Amino acid sequence: MHQSLATKCLELERFMICDVMFDCDDEFLKFELLYAETLIHSSTFPRDADFTFTMMSKGEASTVYVRKRPFLEEFLEKVAEMFEVVIFTASRSSYSATLLDILDPHNKLFARRFYRDSCKREDGHCLKDLTVLGIDMAKVFIIDNSPGVFRLHVNNGIPIKSWYGECPDYALIDLLPFLKKLVDVDDVRPIIAAKFWKKFNSAHSSPAPLPIRRI
């Protein structure tokens, strides 16, 4: 494996949530991605789907039609070279495991997978607590289209716009140059904060105001 290893956690429906950690002398860079509406878009309607799979719901089989976000394959290949990729999704394993197996059939991209049962519940909301990864928070970052899910770790969070199947879209490929800057740093948080959260951190002493959605 690459000496400088980052772990990236992805959630399949909206985007991929990214949790990155640096690996050097027993240190790990973990990168967590939220995949829904970040890496893919799925629906029950056949609209130019890249692939399909069957999901059981309440005893009935439904066909799920999935579109890959533009540049998805290139994005995953590049980040897998830089980081160790870990999936962290708020979706149930019964749905996500099948989808992840399709995206990574040879288990070369995703090192670990965390599902909804690994999320933290707070006031009816689902939060992604990055401490479950057991990694130095200076070496972790998360990419998500819903910043509220990483409200516990704002300066570890990289926001990305949601994707609902529209084209053209360059969000994934445009993010790569910034991610490359995180590979060899001692602490990802000040770099992320300076780029994405400078105004927020100056106005708030706590990440609580970040909006989150109920699931």
Q: Which tokens sit at 212?
A: 């989150």
Instruction: Mean pLDDT check: name the lowest of 21-30, 46-55, 129-138, 174-183.
Output: 21-30
Helix (H) or strand (E) holding 81: helix 72-82
Calculate the alpha carbon distances from 188 to 33, 78, 137, 180, 183 in Å. Answer: 15, 19, 9, 11, 9
Q: Would you call 176 helix, strand, or coil by DSSP? A: helix
pLDDT above 90 covers what percent of the chain? 20
pLDDT of the residue at 33: 53
Q: What is the pLDDT of residue 11?
A: 41
Selection from 89, 184, 97, 91 nearest residue 132 by Cα: 89
pLDDT of residue 166: 85
Quote the tokens at residue 122.
């707070």
Residue 15 in contact with residue 160, Cβ under 8 Å?
Answer: yes
Q: Quick one: which of 179, 146, 151, 173 has its CA closest to 161?
A: 146
pLDDT above 90 (res 169) = yes
Q: Which two tokens stand for residue 156?
A: 């570890």
The pair of structure tokens assigned to 94 is 């019964």
8 pLDDT exceeds 60? no
Q: What pLDDT sits at residue 13?
A: 35
Q: Which of 130, 145, 146 is nearest to 189 (CA)?
A: 130
Between CA 212 and CA 194 the distance in angstroms is 22
Q: Would you kindly state where each structural domain of the chain is located, as residue ranges?
A: 6-41+70-203
What is the arithmetic mean of pLDDT over 94-116?
Answer: 86
Rounded Cα–Cα distance for residues 141 and 177 (Å): 15
| This prediction's pTM | 0.75
pLDDT tens across 79-90, in order? Answer: 989 888 888 887
CATH class of residue range 6-41+70-203: alpha beta
User: Side chain identity at 102, as an amino acid letter?
Assistant: I
